């Protein structure tokens, strides 16, 4: 049973000091590695690890080919300004090979998990001589996984999986006793820039969570471009989260006077407080029209654009 530190109990400075000591105790005089995705949780862990271990922590950005446009550069620059060196590791081939031919959502998650922890990290850890991986699992990840709602990719011990046995290294989880609000407060106290906390949520399986059916480099590129349009068009709305989904089915359209059996993009834009329940934002029709115009113009092969008007539940925020 993990003992929660509630928002009322949390004193960021004390929490930071305790976690630094905990990381130092776990890693000893050895080395550790952590993967930085650029999200709030992994960014906070990076700063904690950096403070605890300095150059004995190697921070990597895994380029899995599934991230949004410009992410590796954005993350590297942001941390460069904070004095933390981030190494970008190109692992695109490993991920796309593992995802090839996989259409089932849970199998997709599993392929990503295994590639990340076993293959990519296994190799990095072996090469670097690190014995510990620092990771930003938060209490909500554990709750949702244990409740069987959605398997979060970063939860092992609570499912009876021993990372040492399964992957050959230990996992240290400094954020395990707090939730998102707490992580944000700790991040601010660590001096992370405000833009980081203002970003909308983004899922661990990245754009693979937004491709229905098989994940290929080409299909990811389609959803990546669509995501860029949706984020650009909807960023001023104040909505909780907005995203683009690529459907598996093609539909008949026409282009240049000819039949074009094309792609369908579904746009979702959610009002929500904690992502547990959500309802579609009542976007003005003009905004939807502008979205359709840009998606049709900027994303090759798209002939249909729809807006999701279902609530969560029974929908979920992501599609996979
Ligand atoms: P769902 O799709 O479960 O998403 O309604 C709830 C929130 O969690 C974010 N998120 C994830 N969703 N797999 C998911 O399906 C993940 O690994 C994951 N990580 C984060 C999602 O974007 C939404 O805000």
> Is a pLDDT exceeding 80 seen at residue 149?
no
> Is a pLDDT exceeding 80 seen at residue 313?
yes
What was the pLDDT predicted at 225? 98
| Peptide bond before residue 210 is cis, with ω within 30 degrees of 0 | no
- Which residues have C-beta within 8 Å of that of residue 11, sequence separation ≥ 6? none
- Range 179-187 average pLDDT: 95
List, in sequence order, every residue forming a beta bridge with 254; answer none if it has no partner.
259
What was the pLDDT predicted at 146? 83
H helix runs in the chain, sequence order: 12-27, 40-53, 71-81, 92-99, 105-114, 121-128, 139-146, 163-167, 180-189, 194-198, 217-234, 285-298
Pick the closest to residue 122 from 57, 60, 174, 167 (CA basis).
167
Tell me the two tokens of residue 193: 């820039």
Indicate if 31 and 80 belong to the same structural domain: yes
The answer to whether residue 113 is domain-embedded is: yes
User: Does an H or E element contain 270, and which?
Assistant: strand 258-271
CATH of the domain at 46: 3.40.50.620
What domain count does the chain have? 2
Indicate if 160 and 73 belong to the same structural domain: yes
Indicate if 54 and 115 belong to the same structural domain: yes
Confidence of residue 128 (pLDDT cuts 50, 70, 90): confident
CATH of the domain at 261: 3.30.300.10
> Is a pLDDT exceeding 80 seen at residue 6?
yes
**Whose C-alpha lies nearest to ligand 1, atom 12?**
203
Pocket test for ligand 1, best of 66, 68, 113, 150 (most atoms within 8 A of CB): 150
The answer to whether residue 202 is domain-embedded is: no
Indicate if 257 and 291 belong to the same structural domain: yes
> Is a pLDDT exceeding 80 seen at residue 153?
no
Indicate if 171 and 265 belong to the same structural domain: no
CA 266 to chain centre: 20
Distance 316 CA to ligand 1 centre (A): 8
The answer to whether residue 66 is domain-embedded is: yes
The answer to whether residues 199 and 89 touch, using CB atoms and an 8 Å cutoff, is no
The answer to whether residue 26 is domain-embedded is: yes
Indicate if 44 and 156 belong to the same structural domain: yes
Domain boundary among 166, 197, 228: 197
Indicate if 144 and 62 belong to the same structural domain: yes
**Residue found under tokens 């950096």:** 50
What was the pLDDT predicted at 126? 85
Indicate if 48 and 191 belong to the same structural domain: yes
Domain boundary among 197, 221, 244: 197
Torsion of CA 85, 170, 320, 180, to 10 degrees: -70
Q: Helix, strand, coil proportions of the chain in percent (round to 5)? A: 45, 20, 35
- Sheet architecture: strand order including 32-35: 86-90, 57-63, 32-35, 132-134, 170-172
Q: Which residues line ligand 1 (CB under 6 A)?
A: 150, 152-153, 201, 203-205, 209, 241, 275, 312, 316-318
Domain boundary among 164, 197, 230: 197
- Range 228-249 average pLDDT: 97
**Whose C-alpha lies nearest to ligand 1, atom 17?**
204
Indicate if 185 and 294 belong to the same structural domain: no
What was the pLDDT predicted at 147? 80
What was the pLDDT predicted at 150? 65
Indicate if 34 and 140 belong to the same structural domain: yes
What was the pLDDT predicted at 46? 98
Indicate if 249 and 113 belong to the same structural domain: no
Domain containing residue 16: 12-197
**Residue found under tokens 């296994």:** 122
The answer to whether residue 104 is domain-embedded is: yes
The answer to whether residue 7 is domain-embedded is: no
What was the pLDDT predicted at 89? 96
Pick the closest to residue 243 from 216, 217, 281 (CA basis).
281
The answer to whether residue 315 is domain-embedded is: no
The vertex-234 CA angle with 229 and 239, nearest 5°, equals: 140
- Range 138-146 average pLDDT: 88
Buried b (16+ CB within 10 A) or exposed e, 301-311: ebbbbebbeee
User: Does an H or E element contain 134, and which?
Assistant: strand 132-134
The answer to whether residue 1 is domain-embedded is: no
Indicate if 31 and 157 belong to the same structural domain: yes
Reported as a single tens digit per residue, the pLDDT across 37-96 is 999 999 999 999 999 999 999 999 999 999 999 999 999 999 999 999 999 999 999 999
Higher pLDDT, 65 or 143: 65
């Amino acid at each position: 049973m993990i003992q929660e530190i509630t928002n009322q109990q949390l004193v960021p400075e004390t929490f930071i000091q305790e976690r630094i000591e905990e990381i130092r105790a776990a890693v000893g005089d050895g080395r550790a590695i952590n993967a930085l995705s650029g999200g709030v949780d992994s960014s906070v862990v990076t700063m904690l690890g950096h403070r605890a271990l300095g150059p004995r922590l190697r921070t990597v950005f895994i380029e899995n080919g599934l991230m949004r446009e410009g992410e590796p550069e954005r993350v590297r620059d942001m941390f460069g300004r904070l004095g933390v060196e981030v190494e970008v590791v190109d692992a695109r081939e490993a991920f796309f090979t593992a995802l090839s031919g996989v259409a089932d959502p849970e199998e997709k998650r599993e392929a990503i998990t295994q590639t990340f922890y076993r293959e990519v990290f296994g190799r990095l850890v072996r090469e670097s001589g690190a014995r510990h991986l620092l990771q930003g699992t938060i209490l909500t990840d554990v709750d949702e996984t244990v409740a069987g709602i959605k398997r979060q990719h970063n939860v092992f011990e609570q499912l009876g999986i021993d990372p040492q046995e399964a992957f050959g290294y230990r996992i240290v989880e400094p954020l395990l006793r707090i939730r998102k609000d707490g992580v944000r407060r700790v991040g601010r106290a660590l001096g992370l820039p405000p833009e980081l906390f203002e970003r909308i949520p983004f899922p661990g399986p990245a754009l693979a969570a937004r491709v229905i059916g098989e994940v290929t480099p080409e299909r990811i590129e389609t959803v990546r471009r669509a995501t860029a349009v949706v984020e650009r068009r909807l960023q001023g709305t104040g909505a909780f989260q907005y995203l683009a989904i690529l459907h598996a089915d093609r539909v008949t359209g026409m282009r240049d006077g000819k039949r074009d059996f094309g792609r369908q993009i579904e746009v979702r834009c959610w009002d929500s407080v904690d992502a547990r329940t959500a309802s579609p934002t009542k976007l003005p029709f003009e905004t939807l029209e502008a979205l359709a115009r840009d998606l049709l113009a900027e994303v090759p092969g798209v002939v249909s654009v729809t807006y999701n008007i279902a609530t969560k539940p029974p929908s979920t925020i992501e599609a996979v």
